[in-house]
Amino acid sequence: MRKKIIIAFIAAAAVIAGIAVYAFSGKETPEAEPLRTAKVTRGELRLEAMANGIITPDVEVIVKSKAGGEIIDFPFNEGDVIKKGEVIVKLDPETEEARAKQAEATLLMTEARLEKAKIGRKDSEVKLGRQKKLFEDGIISRQELEDSEIGFQKAGTDVKLSQAELMQSREALNEANERLADTKIKAPFTGTILKKFVDRGQVISSTLSSASEGTQIFSMANLDNIFVTTHVDEVDISRIAPGQAAIVKVDSLPGREFTATVERVAPKGRTEMTVTIFDVVVRVTDKDKALLKPGMTADVNITTSVKNDVLLVPRDAVKTRDDRKTGVYILKAGAPEFVEAAFGDTDGERTEVKSGVAEGAEVVTSSVAPKMNNKNSKRRLFF
User: Per residue in 303-332, pLDDT tens?
Assistant: 998 889 889 999 988 988 877 789 898 988
Distance CA 198, CA 356 (A): 71
When pLDDT is averaged across residues 348-357 and rounded to a whole number, the result is 89
The pLDDT of residue 280 is above 90 = yes
| pLDDT exceeds 70 at position 270 | yes
Q: Hey, is 87 helix, strand or coil?
A: strand
Q: Which of 182, 171, 183 is nearest to 103 (CA)?
A: 171
Displacement of CA 236 from its chain's centroid (Å): 17
Can you name the CATH fold of 59-90+185-224? Answer: OB fold (Dihydrolipoamide Acetyltransferase, E2P) (2.40.50)
Give the SS3 label for residue 67: coil
Instruction: Report the topology of domain 48-58+225-306.
Output: Elongation Factor Tu (Ef-tu); domain 3 (2.40.30)
Q: What is the mean pLDDT of the chain?
A: 85
Strands (E), 214-347: 218-221, 226-233, 245-250, 258-265, 270-272, 275-284, 297-314, 319-320, 326-332, 335-340, 342-346
pLDDT at 26: 45
Q: Write down the pTM of the prediction.
A: 0.61
Residues 6+ apart with CB under 8 A from 276: 233, 234, 269, 270
Query: Which residues make Cβ contacts (< 8 Å) with residue 109, sequence separation at least 6?
Result: 169
The residue ranking higher by pLDDT, 34 or 196, is 196
Strands 41-57 and 297-314 come out as antiparallel
Span 39-62, mean pLDDT?
90
Q: How far apart are CA 236 and CA 233, in angstroms?
A: 6
Q: Mean pLDDT over residues 116-135, rounded? A: 92
Count other C-beta atoms under 10 Å from residue 341's C-beta. 24
Q: Which of 358, 369, 64, 3 is nearest to 209 (CA)?
A: 64
Instruction: Please tell me whether residue 307 adopts helix, strand or coil conformation.
Output: strand
Q: Is 21's pLDDT higher than 70?
A: no
Q: Are 57 and 294 in contact (CB under 8 A)?
A: yes
pLDDT band at 241 (very low <50, low <70, confident <90, very high): very high
Residue 371 reports pLDDT greater than 70: no
